[in-house]
């Protein structure tokens, strides 16, 4: 089976792709992980192309790309430019073009779904995520694999192409429970949704952990637009008392982090012991200074986030950042697809999390920090 597939790793996932390759070798008991590192060529005027160094004829081809990787740069007219999601997505299309219809099947793995926050139209605005998926479908892509899609209903934009969104809940909770030494139950923790959009995720975590759930909603000033969106005037809270309890704030992504820190600050004012934040993707678009300050002030205890999206090396060593390793998870998904096995148990991990929680609560006694 190990000669029937090829995994194309884009530049934006190269280091993590090598680790996935090691897991693939272990899964298939082989010395060759069948990985191709795509060569992205950028001309001095900004134009580009992708070159594949070997044939993929009649192979199942996986293309893995981190469209959020702003650490990738190129030179244009003597200036250094950081690559945007748009440019990464174009490189995916260039790679499909380089395959030239010779592959047996093409599966695009985008841990962060391109333009996933622009998933619906509320006014006269673009519908970018749907258009991107439809374009991949027209290019002959058979399947898109992503993680924690901002809105799973976006799969309805395509009718022929398969779409799967995986949730790294088990990996997140396994890491959190390994690090934290207090009981996680209704007496000690409340799950908080930072806004109405994240409520489904918060309910999911609350059900898995047997906790109560609360919600903040953002009251915005719709007369102004700042950085492309209406500024938040105030956060309003709906939920149970959080005095002398830890809170778990759950969301799919952290951009600047302003909202989650505002929520954590408000919870601290209400007597919370501190906030644990869980986000599949963390970009820290305005830097990490506000998080550093919130950590020193005891407002946040830790931010748990995955290595599915790019993070500068210097951030990973911060005491308030807990990096959740999901690369073995990605390798297992790919392995199951190649072997024609079910991936259902990889999508739903609720029972495994409940077992972890029971074991954790038996092992540790609650301690106020």
Last residue of a domain, one of 166, 184, 209: 166
Q: Which CATH number covers residue 231?
A: 3.40.50.2020
In this structure, what DSSP letter does residue 266 have? H
Looking at the 3D structure of the chain, how many domains does it have?
2
Residue 216 has pLDDT above 50, yes or no: yes
Instruction: Convert the pLDDT of each residue in 64-98 to its tens digit.
Output: 999 999 999 999 998 999 999 999 999 999 999 99
| Residue 196: band (very low, low, confident or very high) from pLDDT cuts 50, 70, 90 | confident
Exposure string over 183-203, b if 16+ CB within 10 A, otherwise e: bbeeebbbbbbbbeebbebbe
Question: From CA 304, how far away is CA 61, in angstroms rounded?
Answer: 31
* Residue 124 and residue 192 in one domain: no
* Residue 296 exposed, middle or buried by CB count within 10 Å (0-12, 13-18, 19+): exposed
Q: For residue 331, is it within any domain?
A: no
* Residue 247 and residue 219 in one domain: yes
Helix 169-179 to helix 199-209 angle (10° resolution) is 60
Helix (H, G, I), strand (E, B) or coil at 353: helix
* Residue 142 and residue 219 in one domain: no
* Residue 239 and residue 318 in one domain: yes
Q: For residue 112, is it within any domain?
A: yes
Tokens of 319: 């005491």
Question: From CA 110, how far away is CA 138, in angstroms rounded?
Answer: 17
**DSSP of 185-238, one letter per residue?**
STTTEEEEESSGGGHHHHHHHHHHHT-EEEEEEEEE-TT--BTTBPPEEEEEEE
Q: For residue 250, is it within any domain?
A: yes
| Residue 368: band (very low, low, confident or very high) from pLDDT cuts 50, 70, 90 | very low
Q: For residue 66, is it within any domain?
A: yes
Q: For 16-25, 76-85, 354-363, which range has the lowest pLDDT when averaged over its residues? A: 354-363
Q: For residue 335, is it within any domain?
A: no
Helix (H, G, I), strand (E, B) or coil at 106: strand
Last residue of a domain, one of 141, 166, 191: 166
Helix (H, G, I), strand (E, B) or coil at 306: strand
* Residue 115 and residue 192 in one domain: no
Computed over every residue of the chain, the mean pLDDT equals 91
Last residue of a domain, one of 128, 143, 166: 166
* Residue 123 and residue 231 in one domain: no
Q: For residue 343, is it within any domain?
A: no
Q: For residue 199, is it within any domain?
A: yes
| Residue 365: band (very low, low, confident or very high) from pLDDT cuts 50, 70, 90 | low
* Residue 82 and residue 195 in one domain: no
* Residue 178 and residue 104 in one domain: no
pLDDT for 220: 73
Per DSSP (E only), the strands in the chain are 5-9, 35-37, 39-42, 48-51, 60-64, 73-76, 79-82, 105-110, 143-147, 162-166, 189-193, 212-220, 232-238, 246-254, 274-282, 300-306, 321-324
* Residue 198 and residue 181 in one domain: yes
Q: Which helix (H) or strand (E) holds 28?
A: helix 14-28
- Average of pLDDT values for 258-278? 93
Residue 366 has pLDDT above 60, yes or no: no
Max alpha carbon distance in the chain (Å)? Answer: 62
* Residue 29 and residue 143 in one domain: yes
Which domain covers residue 176, as residue numbers? 169-325+348-363
* Residue 11 and residue 125 in one domain: yes
Q: For 205-214, 252-261, 295-304, 347-356, which range has the lowest pLDDT when averaged over its residues? A: 347-356
Q: For residue 89, is it within any domain?
A: yes
Comparing 20 with 220, the larger pLDDT belongs to 20
* Residue 140 and residue 176 in one domain: no
């Amino acid at each position: 089976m190990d000669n029937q597939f090829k995994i194309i790793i884009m530049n934006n996932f190269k280091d993590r792709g090598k680790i996935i390759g090691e897991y693939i070798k272990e899964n298939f008991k082989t010395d060759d992980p069948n990985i191709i590192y795509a060569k992205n060529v950028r001309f001095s005027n900004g134009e580009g192309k992708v070159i594949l160094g070997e044939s993929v004829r009649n192979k199942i081809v996986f293309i893995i790309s981190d469209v959020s990787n702003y650490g990738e740069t190129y030179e244009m007219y003597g200036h250094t430019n950081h690559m945007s999601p748009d440019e990464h997505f174009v490189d995916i299309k260039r790679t499909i073009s380089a395959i030239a219809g010779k592959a047996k099947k093409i599966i695009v793995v985008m841990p962060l779904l391109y333009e996933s926050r622009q998933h619906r139209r509320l006014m006269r605005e673009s519908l970018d995520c749907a258009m991107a998926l439809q374009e991949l479908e027209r290019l002959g892509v058979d399947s898109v694999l992503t993680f924690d899609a901002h809105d799973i209903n976006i799969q309805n934009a395509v009718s022929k192409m398969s779409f799967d969104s995986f949730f790294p809940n088990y990996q997140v909770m396994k890491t959190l429970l390994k690090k934290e030494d207090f009981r996680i139950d209704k007496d000690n923790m409340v799950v908080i949704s930072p806004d109405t959009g994240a409520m489904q995720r918060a309910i999911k975590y609350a059900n898995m952990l047997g906790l109560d759930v609360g919600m903040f909603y953002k009251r915005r000033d719709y007369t102004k637009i700042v950085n492309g969106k209406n500024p938040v005037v105030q956060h309003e809270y709906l939920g149970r008392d959080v005095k002398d309890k830890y809170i778990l704030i759950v969301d799919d992504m952290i951009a600047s982090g302003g909202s989650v820190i505002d929520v954590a600050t408000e919870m601290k004012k209400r007597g919370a012991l501190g906030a644990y934040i869980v986000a599949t993707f963390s970009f820290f678009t305005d830097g990490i200074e506000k998080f550093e300050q919130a950590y020193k002030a005891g407002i946040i205890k830790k931010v748990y986030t995955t290595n599915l999206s790019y993070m500068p090396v210097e951030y990973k060593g911060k005491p308030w950042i807990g990096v959740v390793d999901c690369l073995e998870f990605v390798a297992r998904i790919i392995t199951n697809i190649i072997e024609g096995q079910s991936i259902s148990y990889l999508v739903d991990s609720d029972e495994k999390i409940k077992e972890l929680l029971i074991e954790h609560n038996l092992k540790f006694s609650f301690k106020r920090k």
